[in-house]
Amino acid sequence: MINIAQLAIYLEDQLAERLDKAAKASGKSKSKWVAEAIKRSLQDRWPEGFFDLAGSWEDDLRPDEIMRKIRGGMEKPELREKLR
């Protein structure tokens, strides 16, 4: 037999209304919908196709140099490249 914990949560009215709509649209009870959302949120999975990117970035810099360059721009927003 599987033990199942019971949980009470408090939601703002607007969030509760969104939950009602999402559960109805999925054809599931609110409890089932929330349980599945929690399971998805707690999964230790990489997004599909994530590892397909491995080795696709070519650069003369080492990975640690690339990360230092990226993070350096975060500290000084005035040095970032302007978006077009």
CB 19 within 8 A of CB 11: yes
pLDDT band at 12 (very low <50, low <70, confident <90, very high): very high
Residue at 10: amino acid letter:
Y
Residue at 30: amino acid letter:
K
pLDDT at 8 over 90: yes
pLDDT band at 75 (very low <50, low <70, confident <90, very high): low
For residues 29-50, average pLDDT? 88
For residues 44-66, average pLDDT? 80
The dihedral through the CA atoms of 54, 81, 70, 61 has a sign that is positive
pLDDT at 33 over 80: yes
- Predicted structure pTM score: 0.52
End-to-end CA distance of the chain, in Å?
59
